[in-house]
């Protein structure tokens, strides 16, 4: 009976969400893998991160079902490098495995998922970089959904990198300091971000009950709507997803006006 009620509720939520405008770009902070493992007595964190990686398959199906065209996932931050080596290797191993599957599995083509990664990629192990390149190459022709992995990513670092790239290019062009200063605008800096072609995220979801962004898409999220979900990422359900989208649809977006 409980399963039937869940199914009917999910169907109702889906009808409601489909009747209104959905986010063009959805950002997700995948939080709670460790807590999920600890609560269930899973001793191997690699297993916990593998469960989190599997959850992505469901979420991509849900996004495709309602027509979301861009999804950005924060899977590993620059701060995560301070964690114990075994935990770092567990996270990156799960990322590599998921990228490899996305490059090979038929659902990537069926859903039209194109993969790319952004961040301080030069800090990553060679095996992770190889998995990123393989997934990007294998899915380059897909056009229905852009899936961006933020790996070794920090929002402040992205802004620093953007400003430095802009200064290097302007200096190379021979611009004087005053010309460079006068050229600094929101639009100019935006051109040097990791993903300048992506629209700003309309909705950002963070799982596991943490009510903060921690620097995710710091520049781009100025006018994003936020939804904080108590469920840990591996336990994130379709109804949680649909509730988040419905909450976004119920808000009046004024963009500072």
Cα separation, 149 vs 132, whole angstroms: 9
Does residue 187 lie in a domain region?
no
Which structural domain, as residue segments, surrounds residue 32? 20-154+200-248
Contacts of 70 (CB under 8 A, 6+ apart): 24, 25, 26, 145, 146, 148, 198, 199
Provide the pLDDT for residue 49: 87
Q: Is 142 a catalytic residue?
A: no
Does residue 31 lie in a domain region?
yes
Does residue 254 lie in a domain region?
no
Does residue 194 lie in a domain region?
no
Say if residue 135's pLDDT is above 70: yes
List the catalytic residue out of 57, 80, 161, 175. Answer: 80
CATH number at residue 41: 3.40.1180.10
DSSP 193-249: SS-TTSPPPSEEEE-TT----TTTTTTTTTT-EEEE-SS-GGG--HHHHHHHHHHHH
Pairing of the two strands 25-29 and 70-77: parallel
Does residue 114 lie in a domain region?
yes
Contacts of 12 (CB under 8 A, 6+ apart): none
Q: How many domains does the chain have?
A: 1
Does residue 177 lie in a domain region?
no
pLDDT, one tens digit per residue, over 170-200 is 999 999 999 999 999 999 999 999 999 999 9
Does residue 188 lie in a domain region?
no
CB 100 within 8 A of CB 131: yes
Q: 172: buried, middle or exposed (CB in 10 Å: 19+, 13-18, 0-12)?
A: exposed
CB 62 within 8 A of CB 71: no
Say if residue 160's pLDDT is above 90: yes
pLDDT, one tens digit per residue, over 205-229 is 999 999 999 999 999 999 999 999 9
Does residue 130 lie in a domain region?
yes
Q: Is 80 a catalytic residue?
A: yes
């Amino acid at each position: 009976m409980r399963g039937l009620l869940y199914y009917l509720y999910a169907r109702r939520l889906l009808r409601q969400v489909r009747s209104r405008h959905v986010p063009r770009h959805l950002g997700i902070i995948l939080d709670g893998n460790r807590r999920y493992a600890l609560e269930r007595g899973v001793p191997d964190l690699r297993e916990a991160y593998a469960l989190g990686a599997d959850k992505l398959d469901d979420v991509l199906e849900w996004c495709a079902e309602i027509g979301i065209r861009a999804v950005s996932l924060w899977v590993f931050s620059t701060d995560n490098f301070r964690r114990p080596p075994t935990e770092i290797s567990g996270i990156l191993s799960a990322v590599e495995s998921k990228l490899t599957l996305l490059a090979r599995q038929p659902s990537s083509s069926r859903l039209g998922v194109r993969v790319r990664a952004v961040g301080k990629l030069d800090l990553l192990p060679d095996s992770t970089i190889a998995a990123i390149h393989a997934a990007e190459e294998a899915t380059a022709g897909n056009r229905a959904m852009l899936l961006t992995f933020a790996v070794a990513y920090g929002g402040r670092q992205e802004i620093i990198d953007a400003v430095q790239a802009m200064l290097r290019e302007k200096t190379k062009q021979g611009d004087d300091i005053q010309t460079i200063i006068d050229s600094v605008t929101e639009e100019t800096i935006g051109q040097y971000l990791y993903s300048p072609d992506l629209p700003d995220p309309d909705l950002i979801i963070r799982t596991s009950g943490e009510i903060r962004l921690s620097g995710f898409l710091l520049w781009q999220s100025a006018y994003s709507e936020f939804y904080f979900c108590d469920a840990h990422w591996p336990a994130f359900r379709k109804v949680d997803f649909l509730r988040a989208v419905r909450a976004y649809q119920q808000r009046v977006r004024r963009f500072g006006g």
